[in-house]
Chains A and B, each alone.
Chain A
Amino acid sequence: MRHFYRNIPAVLVLGIPFVWVVLFMLIPYGVIATYSFWEKKYPVFIPAFQWGNYQMLLADPQYIKVLLRTAKISILVSIASFLIAYPFAYYLVYRCRSARVRTWLYMAVVAPLWISYLLRAYVWKTILGTEGVLNSFLIWTGLVDTPSPIFLYNQFSMVVTLTYIFIPFMVMPIYTALEKIPKNLIEASADLGLGPWRTLMKVTLPMSLPGVVAGFTLTFCLSFGDFVAPFLVGGPDGNLIANVITTQFGSALNWPLGSALSIVMLIVVLTIISLSDRFERRGTAGGH
């Protein structure tokens, strides 16, 4: 057996991350999957293989309701982020004439990623609350007389907060996708007599679709698993699936059920990732 000169470094370079992935990802995922079939016999969990936990998720309408609510909020967050991010990225790539301004604006959107996620959720609690900055500001300006409770502890506040937190994840891929579109394609479209609006709908938007899909995937999946924003601004009726899971591992002390819920979340996320992957591959294979 010949030893090609790259073999030894290759083994090390690949080996370290490989071992890590197996030890800290594959095995743990396998363990959650195993736990999700265990039985809870207070106060301990008994190894078993039974579908009880999953059956409970399907039978108890409370879980279905939370799942649907989580999906709804995540979709709303993705749409809101998209509606802000797309025109923003479009402006940066096509309208902004100064490269300096473009860089600054782009960084301004991405920079919040570096600022504590908890703080970014917390600050909306202080803004939207009944005694909060927004209400007191409105009273101060005389627009309203009494503080309104409509801003906080509902799905609106959750969508606002999550959009605020995850918007960089929508801007980044869309910006990259728009930047990749050859400028002469836009010119060709104008040359063929398509107006700016139709150019956007027929050329720019379809060609930037991979970025949009990537943005939706990230925003949706991250919102889907968030439990901090619901905890801070969600209110009593604003539990999302992740809050239910934390409860199972906390006060409810039902790890098997929590694991089953985690598996459901994992499956949802993996499904979305692979759908988006397939879309992306079709996009690159088709060429247009």
Chain B
Amino acid sequence: MTANPYQASRYAADAAFMTFIAAVMAFLYVPIWVLIAFSFNSSRSLSWPPTGFTLDWYAKLATNDGLHAAIRNSFYVATGATILTLLIGVPAALAIHKFDFPGKTLFRRLILLPITLPGIVTGISMLNVSKLINVPLSLETVIAGHATALIGVVVTQVYARLQRLPGSLDEAALDLGAGPWRSFFDITLPNIRSAIISAGLLSFVLSFDEIPVTYFLTGRDNTLPMYIYSTLRRGITPEINAVGTIIVLISFVLICISVMGTKERDQK
């Protein structure tokens, strides 16, 4: 059997692709491993080669009060923002999916705008308003800002799921005697639940990590990323790597929950 030139070129192309994919994966994940690795490095400077294993940086985190307060604030903000985005985003997705109304295109564009619009604009516009009507900046203004910036994320995900749901399901429920509310809670909601959960998780994570909006809207209280951001002004330390490692770990767990939720749905 002679080698087929077409096959040979295909193998070459495959090999090239494999190398490329490996390089992309390295580009994406080596930095994250670097972040994690240096959180266990005994030296204060972040340079190669590592000097030795230590958990000191994690121990330091345990006694850092400012950090603890920032984490608590972030949880408060992310929880509030997630609840708000869901309360606004899910109805918005339903409205766009179900109803025709004048100005629908504009409404849809506006609500999706913050996905593309840099957070700084959202932050500044709301800062201006709070200044104008004399609302003091606080974690609550941050929550409102995050919700505004993240509604688009929820709307996109929930809307995509709604579109895959046959419209006849809702009609069948009405036909069988359910009023519109009942039909929503009995039929629509269970079928979009996993999309809502994963959208909620994503909003939580994004809000937890948010800087541009928070930067303008927070008062005296710092959220975790704002705390890290201000620490960074004073230089970099392995302590930040330790915080980063914990955040990466939590993010990883949340990704897994979100993926498992989607899988369960697909099997059904």
The chain A residue with its CB closest to the CB of B148 is: A24
Q: Does A266 contact B (CB under 8 A)?
A: yes
Residue pair A115, B32 in contact (C-beta under 8 Å):
yes
- Chain B residue total in the interface (Cβ 8 A): 83
Which B residue sits closest to A223, measured CB to CB? B118
Say which residue of A88, A217, A227 sits within 8 Å of B212 (CB atoms). Answer: A227
The chain A residue sitting closest to B118, CB to CB, is A225
A1-20: CB near B (< 8 Å → 1, else 0) gives 00001101110111011101
A266 lies within 8 A of B236 (CB): no
**Contact pick for B92, options A17, A29, A87, CB 8 Å:** A17
Q: Which residues of A contact B124 (CB under 8 A)?
A: 32, 245, 249, 258-259, 262
User: When chains A and B are docked, how far (Å) is the Cα of A245 from the Cα of B216?
Assistant: 11
List the one stretch of A120-128, A179-187, A205-213 in contact with chain B: A120-128
Task: From known contacts A16-B88, A17-B88, A21-B107, infer whether A126 and B38 are also in contact, taking CB-CB under 8 Å.
Answer: yes
Q: Does residue A188 face the partner (Cβ distance < 8 Å to B)?
A: no
Does A31 touch B at the CB level, under 8 Å?
yes
Given A13-B91, A32-B128, A107-B259, are A164 and B27 also a contact pair (CB < 8 Å)?
Answer: yes
CA of A246 to CA of B254, assembled, Å: 32
Q: Is the CB of A9 within 8 A of B181?
A: yes
Task: Please classify the interface of chain A as helix (H, G, I), strand (E, B), loop, or mixed, using the class held by over half of its residues.
Answer: helix
A116 to B204, CA, bound (A): 11
Decide yes or no whether B21 CB sits under 8 A from chain A: yes
Query: What string of 1s and 0s marks CB contacts (under 8 Å) between A64-106 and chain B?
Result: 0000000000000000000010011001000100000000010
Q: Which residues of A are interface residues toward B (Cβ below 8 A)?
A: 5-6, 8-10, 12-14, 16-18, 20-21, 24-29, 31-32, 35, 84, 87-88, 91, 95, 105, 107-109, 111-120, 122-127, 129, 131-133, 135-137, 139-140, 164, 167, 196, 217-218, 221-222, 224-228, 232, 242, 245-246, 249, 255, 258-259, 262, 265-266, 269, 273, 277
